[in-house]
Structure 1
Amino acid sequence: MALCIQVLPSPSLRSVFVQLVKGPFVAAATSAALVLGALTALAGLGPAARSASVTDIQPAAAAATSGGVNIAYYDQWSIYGNAFYPKALDTRGIAGKLNVLNYSFENIDPTNLTCFESTKAASTDETNPSAGDGAGDAYADYQKTFAAGDAVNGTADVWNQPIAGTFNQLKELKAKYPNLKIVASIGGWTYSKYFSDVAATDASRKKFVSSCIDMFIKGNLPVQGGFGGTGTAAGIFDGFDLDWEYPGVSSGHVGNHYSTADKANYTALMAEFRTELDAYGTANSRKMLLTAALPAGQDKIEQIETNKVGSYLDYANIMTYDMHGAWDATGPTNLQDPLYQSADDPSTAISPGTEKYSADNAISAWTNGDSAYGIAGGFPASKLTMGYPLYYRGWTGVPAGSNHGLYQSATGPAPARSTSATAGIAYYKELGGIVDNSADTFYDPKSQTNYFYTGSEFWTGLGSQAIQAKADYAHCHGLAGAMMYSLLDLDANDTLFNQIATAVSGSASSCTSPTPTPTPTPTPANDFSVAVSPSSGSVAPGGSASATVSTAVTSGSAQTVSLTASGAPSGVTVSLSPTSVTAGSSSTLSVSVSSSAVAGTYPITVTGTAASGSHSTTYNLTVTSSSGGGTALSNGGFETGSLSPWACQTGGKVVPTPVHTGSYAVDVVPTSNTTGECDQNVTLSPNTSHTLTAYVQGNYAYVGVSGGATASTWASGTGWTKLTVPFTTDSTGKVTVYIHGWYAQGDVYGDDFTIS
């Protein structure tokens, strides 16, 4: 997993956004792209950015000046706990070495399907399908004021200037570096849910693209916190970076919308951006950029029209990292960014072909195609950049084995470090004494990748040898250069950034390819799949539902599969008949909901186990309210003396004092890393107006709903304050009711929640 923490406080309105990027090729980063034919027109791209045609791409002939473009991400949340302000890009010499700066991330309005600005916390729960709905950080974007010592131009912000925040600092940065191009990145891991919707039709594409240009290019920001207004952000952004993770597949964030039509629709969405950006650029004598963060996994590349999108993009940043990580908690350890596929790599080949993950396989698929995966290829190599992660993935409890911990077992993810605060991942600046220690640094010549081993911890990420190998590859294959994610991860000396910039701006001494990894002839092993249809159902208390659990032979011969179901809440009974089938046969899943069952949505896991191993699928059961109209909220006064069915982040609990009425209330406990959110899922009448009412006490107490409706409000005070949140449900009627505080601002209390 790659962790990107976005903390969104303001004196008046605070929120948090945490993006957890998990699984191969689910990059938290986005990427950028510049049109090949416009390189000479872009004054800031530097002399090293030479264009190359597809016929120039010959491994035996190094292009000494190719591959010199440097692109990097500056995260929206950098200004908070890390205090990594845009000024550092100036004083530390970063801005002068960059061609393109990607500002990440902006979100898609879940109701209007447009670009928008808000200050609302995203859920940190990776199982919450509505985690990013309505979330954003308008405060960081254009409301936070900077003191003189923190400002790029050395002048303090004042209350009556048009905009403040990071946008204004980027404006000041561009004044000092007029050749630096800055693009607004849309999407990312948590904010990709509605890409499929905005790309679905010609009308939805035009509506979405025009809204983004109006807000971020023309600069017509909504007035919030005393800042914003018509044209206040004009001239800051030079275009957009699209980070849709991922079209056409279910392997993005849980709850993401996707469709078989996404492949063609993504091309059409890029075309619409290109058309509208060009029209604006022509009218305003500006070259506007369109870039995209694109996948490196063959299973995801096949969902993109590689032979078409290149005509609309300026640069395509290939996310050549997050290929392996501690989501495989017990190993085997592996490399998150192998340049080449190693014959020793123990990971499973990507179906339906025999290849594994590597940067070389990805670049080849984009440019030359890959028939085993139905990838057409045809993307211009001179528009591709390779991703360079500035963070590391790690395991602990790793034995040395024969190669310093590589491809070994582990006892779990490496312990969390203080800033990244997530087990199994750390920023470069958190691993001093390891990644900068030659005694702990190793190099795998087969994959041309560095790794680090302390005798117990194994870390995978960039080292000086891997950086040079990547840069040489880019020069020898006529690629555009490098994309780095994210600048926030750097140490005070910007060690990785400077090494990358130097290598990318240089040239390869020679161009040779490693000995090709022989492709083994696979021996089919017995295996199976398990699926449930329908995959979800809604049942009122006292009711029942059923679904069909199907199994199929995916390789080898049929075998006996034992079926079990888990995850049923109190008051719900789940059974399977029969409980054992031969692969290729089916079983019936029966669900019975008693009158005591609590309303909410519950994932029921159906697991099939055979001699070859286990596979699981999920049936999402929604227990509706017993009130028929669906407006009941369970345990809103916490008078049961327990949280259920509320779920809280660490520390949340029911307390006897203070209370608004009755005997109990909820105590929400924010920490330096969390807002302490407590929430529960409720199914209400669809397409209906409702009002959430609650009583709160404490500093920065927020209540609201997300999911099938998005609305919130807040209050601060030592006494009880009544808050009301009007909202209208969508066609599902499903919302998440929540209360949270703010980072390290003290406990907040809630009581007497009702929905009318």
Structure 2
Amino acid sequence: MRSPHVRTRTRAIGILLTLALAIPLTVLATLAPSSTAGAATTPAGPRAAGVKMGYFTEWGVYDRNYHVKNMVTSGTAEKINTINYAFGNVQGGRCTMGDSFAAIEKSYTADQSVDGVADTWDQPLRGNFNQLLKLKKKYPHIKILWSFGGWTWSGGFTQAMQNPAAFAQSCYDLVNDPRWQGLFDGIDLDWEYPNACGLSCDSSGPAVMKDMMQAFRGTFGDQLVTAAVTADASAGGKIEAADYAGAAQYADWYNVMTYDFFGAWDAQGPTAPHSPLTSYDGIPKQGFDSSAAIEKFKAAGVPANKLLLGIGFYGRGWTGVTQAGPGGTATGPAPGTYEQGIDDYKELKSKCPATGTVAGTAYAHCGNQWWSYDTPQTVGGKMSYAKQQGLGGAFIWELSGDTANGELMSAVNSGLG
């Protein structure tokens, strides 16, 4: 069985474009501010209280036509307090920029811009970064972190962790580059997965997670340092592969990727919800549910208020399905707007409306297709769970999947209070 959290987040063309533009950023690196010697090593726990975070994808400005201004027009900017900008790359032992055109070069007209002011040809910073700076000015409560890695770009972490101090310093220099001074409030490390396999495999040993977070805390000082982490709570699974508890003392919080447990990479099924809150009779694999992951992290010693519950703003689906409930057979992945087997909530809510719920999430059977995704109602139930467990909040992957009026983000906001 393919491992969970296979986050195929872009169309192939989007990946190729981003990879083609992925370059090490060395210009002005020597001018970037250095980290403070003797910086604090343990962040205060309350910093994670009430986090409402969403990932903004760099490539979303292309086919998805989702821009920073959409966070304003949808009402999301008023309901969110943290944004993770995804993704920077990890290459040659250091943090590098992903798509520099989308990040700092793309020009915005007045009607596309957050503040209604058009970019000029000679301004030093354009693109997403400039729009995000404008967003922070308009909504000063928002913190922004630059996230590095992700499913596609996690392969460089192994090499980088051969020299943790140099790795951390390279990331600090890039995140705090003078050209976008004041934009980022810290860094998110999305390694899929330390001492385990994702798109590629790492065998650095269990201590590598703790070593990484300790190095980044020492370098970033009082800036935010977070990590996206596996939700594989199966026996002998990925949570057990690395010292997440030891690393937690250096992290402000963990984004627990409680989605993509099941999907049409198992082309014949059985159909199963990709983001179940709890286990249920007939679940294809034990330990592949959100509450199992949260409980396993807590049992290992990770404080509850440093765990964020992950919510997918998308669904996963199969075709060739006759059974209405979960557990049916299929013939392959259902067609999606951008790629097979996956589609945004904003598309699914009308083309294949929910017909039932299982394990705290929704599913839909329409024609010969079977989809699972969260609705405002099931998001509300998950937020109640997060509060009951004393979690630090919730995060979503990713913002462009929501409706134009931000109904899923509204459910996260009202559910957490």
Normalised by the shorter chain, which TM-score bucket? 0.7 to 0.9
Which residue of structure 1 lines up, in the alignment, with residue 309 of structure 2? 386
SS of equivalent residue, structure 1 residue 273? helix
Which residue of structure 2 lines up, in the alignment, with residue 79 of structure 1? 61
The C-alpha deviation readout for 1:613-667, integer Å capped at 9, x for no partner, is xxxxxxxxxxxxxxxxxxxxxxxxxxxxxxxxxxxxxxxxxxxxxxxxxxxxxxx
Which residue of structure 2 lines up, in the alignment, with residue 268 of structure 1? 211
Which residue of structure 2 lines up, in the alignment, with residue 174 of structure 1? 136
Cα deviation for residue 248 of structure 1 reads 1.0
Partner of residue 233 from structure 1, selected from 174, 180, 190: 180
Partner of residue 488 from structure 1, selected from 389, 400, 417: 400
Higher helix share: 2
Whole-Å Cα distance in 2 between the matches of residues 260 and 102 of structure 1? 26
Please say which structure displays the higher CA radius of gyration. Answer: 1
Partner of residue 430 from structure 1, selected from 328, 331, 347: 347
Cα deviation for residue 356 of structure 1 reads 3.1
SS of equivalent residue, structure 1 residue 329? coil
Cα deviation for residue 159 of structure 1 reads 2.1
Which residue of structure 2 lines up, in the alignment, with residue 92 of structure 1? 74
2:269 aligned with 1:334: no
Check conservation: 1:199, 1:266, Cα contact below 8 A.
no
Cα deviation for residue 35 of structure 1 reads 4.5
Whole-Å Cα distance in 2 between the matches of residues 458 and 288 of structure 1? 43
The C-alpha deviation readout for 1:660-703, integer Å capped at 9, x for no partner, is xxxxxxxxxxxxxxxxxxxxxxxxxxxxxxxxxxxxxxxxxxxx
Gaps (5+ residues) in structure 2? 1-5, 21-41
Which residue of structure 2 lines up, in the alignment, with residue 3 of structure 1? 8
Amino acid aligned to 1:481 = G
2:374 aligned with 1:412: no
SS of equivalent residue, structure 1 residue 15? helix
Cα deviation for residue 2 of structure 1 reads 3.8
Cα deviation for residue 257 of structure 1 reads 5.2
Amino acid aligned to 1:114 = R
Describe the shift of the 1:178–1:8 C-alpha distance in structure 2 as closer, same or farther (beyond 3 A).
farther
Which residue of structure 1 lines up, in the alignment, with residue 32 of structure 2? none
What percent identity do the matched residue pairs reach? Answer: 36
Which residue of structure 1 lines up, in the alignment, with residue 198 of structure 2? 252
The C-alpha deviation readout for 1:177-226, integer Å capped at 9, x for no partner, is 111100000000111111111112xxx11111111111221x1xxxxxxx
Whole-Å Cα distance in 1 between the matches of residues 153 and 271 of structure 2? 30
Check conservation: 1:443, 1:465, Cα contact below 8 A.
no
Query: What does residue range 49-68 of structure 1 map to in structure 2 within 5 Å?
Result: 49=49, 68=50
Check conservation: 2:376, 2:407, Cα contact below 8 A.
no
Which residue of structure 2 lines up, in the alignment, with residue 448 of structure 1? 360
Amino acid aligned to 2:188 = D
SS of equivalent residue, structure 2 residue 87? strand
Cα deviation for residue 36 of structure 1 reads 4.3
Whole-Å Cα distance in 1 between the matches of residues 172 and 7 of structure 2? 30
The C-alpha deviation readout for 1:75-113, integer Å capped at 9, x for no partner, is 001111222111111232211211110000000123xx1
SS of equivalent residue, structure 1 residue 433? helix
Query: What does residue range 41-190 of structure 1 map to in structure 2 within 5 Å?
Result: 49=49, 68-110=50-92, 113-117=93-97, 136-190=98-152
Query: What does residue range 676-715 of structure 1 map to in structure 2 within 5 Å?
Result: none
Describe the shift of the 1:483–1:382 C-alpha distance in structure 2 as closer, same or farther (beyond 3 A).
same
Query: What does residue range 306-385 of structure 1 map to in structure 2 within 5 Å?
Result: 306-345=244-283, 347-348=284-285, 355-368=286-299, 377-385=300-308
Check conservation: 1:6, 1:76, Cα contact below 8 A.
no
Gaps (5+ residues) in structure 1? 19-33, 40-44, 50-67, 118-135, 220-230, 279-286, 349-354, 369-376, 506-756
Whole-Å Cα distance in 2 between the matches of residues 452 and 147 of structure 1? 40
Amino acid aligned to 2:217 = R
The C-alpha deviation readout for 1:701-739, integer Å capped at 9, x for no partner, is xxxxxxxxxxxxxxxxxxxxxxxxxxxxxxxxxxxxxxx
Higher strand share: 1
SS of equivalent residue, structure 1 residue 71? strand
Query: What does residue range 491-506 of structure 1 map to in structure 2 within 5 Å?
Result: 491-505=403-417
Check conservation: 1:197, 1:257, Cα contact below 8 A.
no
Check conservation: 1:442, 1:451, Cα contact below 8 A.
yes
Q: CA RMSD in A?
A: 2.1
Amino acid aligned to 1:304 = A
Whole-Å Cα distance in 2 between the matches of residues 7 and 85 of structure 1? 20
SS of equivalent residue, structure 1 residue 338? coil
SS of equivalent residue, structure 1 residue 276? helix
Whole-Å Cα distance in 2 between the matches of residues 157 and 8 of structure 1? 27
Which residue of structure 2 lines up, in the alignment, with residue 205 of structure 1? 164
Which residue of structure 1 lines up, in the alignment, with residue 30 of structure 2? none
Whole-Å Cα distance in 1 between the matches of residues 124 and 132 of structure 2? 14
2:386 aligned with 1:474: yes
Figure out how many residues of one structure are paired with residues of the other and give that number. 387
Cα deviation for residue 291 of structure 1 reads 0.8
What's the TM-score once normalised by structure 1's chain length?
0.49
Structure 1 stretches of 4+ with a deviation exceeding 3 A read: 6-9, 34-38
